[in-house]
């Protein structure tokens, strides 16, 4: 008899590999979100795989990730800076002073 139910293993996908999750990035930091309680952005460097990972967490559960090559990071920083400058032109809110966990 084949067991069925919520704990039955589903079909393996090509990206189902061994994954390790650390509570906080070894090489990186965590930005605490201001809009939703429990939301954080983790920025972590993974020299062993040559990637910088941005991950969005909600209450300790990873909801999304983006894996960047190191050479892509300056363009992302530039996009963030442009967005912050555009924001400063239309708002009196401070751009700096967000909370980090590190």
Tell me, what's the pLDDT at 96?
47
Which residues are registered as beta bridge partners of 74?
none
The residue-averaged pLDDT of 32-36 equals 92
The residue-averaged pLDDT of 16-33 equals 71
Q: Architecture of 28-90 per CATH?
A: Roll (2.30)
The H or E element that residue 76 is part of is: helix 73-90
Asked if 54 and 30 touch (Cβ cutoff 8 Å), the reply is no
- How would residue 85 be classed by pLDDT, with cut points 50, 70 and 90? confident
Helix (H, G, I), strand (E, B) or coil at 39: strand
pTM for the model: 0.62
């Amino acid at each position: 008899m084949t067991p069925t139910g919520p704990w039955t293993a589903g079909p393996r996908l090509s990206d189902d590999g061994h994954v390790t999750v650390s509570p906080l990035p070894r090489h990186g930091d965590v930005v605490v979100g201001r809009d939703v309680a429990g939301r954080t952005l983790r920025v972590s460097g993974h020299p062993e795989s040559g990637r910088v990972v941005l991950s969005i967490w909600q209450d300790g559960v990873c909801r999304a990730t983006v894996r960047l090559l190191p050479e892509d990071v300056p363009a992302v920083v530039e996009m963030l800076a442009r967005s912050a400058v555009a924001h400063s032109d239309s708002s009196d809110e401070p751009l700096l002073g967000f909370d980090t966990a590190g």
